Amino acid sequence: MPKSVLVIGAGAVGLAAAMRCAQSGAEVVVVDAADAIGTQTSARNSGVVHAGLYYPQNSLKAKFCVSGREMLYAHSARFDVAHSVVQKLIVASDDAQIDALRALQTRAAGNGVTLDMISGTAAQDLEPELRVEAALVSPKTGIVDAAGLMLSYLTQAEARGATLILNTTVDTIRRVRDQIVVTGTSAGDPFDMAFDRVINAAGHGAYDLASQYWPDAPKPPKLWAKGSYFAISGPAPFDRLVYPLPEQAGLGIHYTVDLGGQGQLGPNVDWVDQMDFRVDPALEPVFRDAVRQYWPAVDDRTLHPAYAGLRPKIEGGDFVLAARDGIITFLGIESPGLTASLALGAWASDQIS
Ligand SMILES: Cc1cc2nc3c(=O)[nH]c(=O)nc-3n(C[C@H](O)[C@H](O)[C@H](O)COP(=O)(O)OP(=O)(O)OC[C@H]3O[C@@H](n4cnc5c(N)ncnc54)[C@H](O)[C@@H]3O)c2cc1C
């Protein structure tokens, strides 16, 4: 008998899990509280396919990022998801930062990611508007159309019989004998259904659900780590992505470009107490100052408030993956969760048999 599987959350992780489970023969239902797929964190990120260079060796972030990146590139090529391996430069703005670049190079090597160190002049040859002392080149970093990626997961899941139900919020999850009973509301009507397995991929909603069946689940912080973006007027100033050295809760305000050629700066880290996605225009000088040290010509450009996301952080700082009593739980799937989505989905599928 095929297993019946409920996936809660139609973001990148839930949809990848749904696709993998459906491909393995399970009967899959995906629900999401929103009226469309991928409207939360999966729509509010940099769209970068990370190489896997930042994360501590043997962390789940390192493992799932490195394997997920290769899976993502192969999947995108196969299913015509727009992507480009544009590469990334991580820059040192002064001599003092060069040791930190070397430390990052060593950490990346521990994750199997090779980065070459180049001089400031060589960096400027690659990207004429850059003014840096040195840079690391990440050849495997890319960008992907996150919306197209999620649609491809859904299309493949539906091709194997999966069903998507939107406007459906799960409120409770409990184990009853050998089944998992979930309750909630669908288009305003209450429902109560039983499944063999449940995958909790509810992003910011995952902890509230997990705490019902896993009392000592790792907790999110009390505040949200908001990241805002500003769009850059005019043509894209760089072909490659440009990152400063990482900081405590994020990767530092960096330059990315989307597949349409729109350059942007972000995200910053702003601890907030409301789930609020507005970008404060007053932050503009913060963004300008942050990049001026490696991109002085930013002062020739106008920066426009663009969008913001909230990082789904969790105690411990790594991804949390758990499979207990038929319930598979994803907590703390912040960056590089988009990159890792296929590897996370494959892991979830392995847990349902
Ligand atoms: C500012 C920022 C930049 C980032 N940049 C990158 C990047 O460049 N590269 C990268 O790899 N990663 C990046 N990430 C991380 C990446 O976006 C996330 O890891 C990934 O999108 C998480 O996907 P998800 O499916 O777990 O969550 P989500 O996309 O949030 O999906 C969860 C879904 O669950 C639904 N839901 C919640 N509660 C319930 C409920 N009770 N019932 C039903 N449905 C529910 C929500 O509506 C939502 O659709 C970034 C994140 C942020 C915030």
Domains of the chain: which residue ranges?
4-77+146-220+315-351, 88-139+222-311
pLDDT, residue 250, reads: 73
| Mean pLDDT on 177-199 | 97
Closest ligand 1 atom to residue 171 Cα is: 41
pLDDT, residue 124, reads: 97
Distance 89 CA to ligand 1 centre (A): 26
Closest ligand 1 atom to residue 330 Cα is: 26
| Mean pLDDT on 163-177 | 97
Candidate of 170, 200, 212, 335 to mutate for ligand 1, largest count of ligand atoms within 8 Å of Cβ: 335
What whole-number distance in Å separates Cα of residue 221 and Cα of residue 347?
26
pLDDT, residue 249, reads: 67
Supply the mean pLDDT for the chain.
96
Query: Hey, what long-range contacts does 255-260 have (CB within 8 A, 24 or more apart)?
Result: 255/291, 255/295, 256/46, 256/47, 256/48, 256/143, 257/86, 257/143, 258/47, 258/143, 259/47, 259/82, 259/83, 259/84, 259/143, 259/144, 259/145
Query: Hey, what long-range contacts does 251-255 have (CB within 8 A, 24 or more apart)?
Result: 251/54, 251/335, 252/290, 253/286, 253/287, 253/290, 253/291, 254/46, 255/291, 255/295
Closest ligand 1 atom to residue 13 Cα is: 25
Candidate of 338, 344, 347 to mutate for ligand 1, largest count of ligand atoms within 8 Å of Cβ: 338
| CA-proximal residue: ligand 1, atom 35 (nearest) | 9
Closest ligand 1 atom to residue 201 Cα is: 26
Q: Measuring from each residue's beta carbon to the nearest atom of ligand 1, which residues come in under 6 Å?
A: 8-14, 31-34, 38-42, 44-48, 50, 169-170, 201-205, 209, 227, 267, 309-311, 330, 333-339
What whole-number distance in Å separates Cα of residue 94 and Cα of residue 100?
11
Distance 288 CA to ligand 1 centre (A): 27
| Mean pLDDT on 313-326 | 97
The CATH number fitting domain 4-77+146-220+315-351, selected from 3.10.450.40, 3.30.70.100, 3.50.50.60, 2.60.40.10: 3.50.50.60
pLDDT > 70: percent of the chain: 99
Indicate if the pLDDT at residue 69 is higher than 70: yes
What whole-number distance in Å separates Cα of residue 226 and Cα of residue 315?
17
| Mean pLDDT on 132-143 | 98
Distance 340 CA to ligand 1 centre (A): 12
Beta-strand (E) ranges in 35-178?
48-49, 83-84, 88-92, 116-119, 134-138, 142-144, 163-165, 168-176
| CA-proximal residue: ligand 1, atom 25 (nearest) | 11
Beta-strand (E) ranges in 105-201?
116-119, 134-138, 142-144, 163-165, 168-176, 179-186, 189-195, 197-200
115 pLDDT band, cuts 50/70/90, is: very high
What whole-number distance in Å separates Cα of residue 263 and Cα of residue 60?
30
pLDDT, residue 242, reads: 97
Indicate if the pLDDT at residue 108 is higher than 80: yes
pLDDT, residue 96, reads: 85
Q: What is the CATH number of domain 88-139+222-311?
A: 3.30.9.10
318 pLDDT band, cuts 50/70/90, is: very high
DSSP H helix total and E strand total for the chain: 8, 21
Indicate if the pLDDT at residue 225 is higher than 70: yes
Indicate if the pLDDT at residue 247 is higher than 80: no
Whole-structure pTM over 0.95, yes or no?
Answer: yes
Distance 11 CA to ligand 1 centre (A): 6
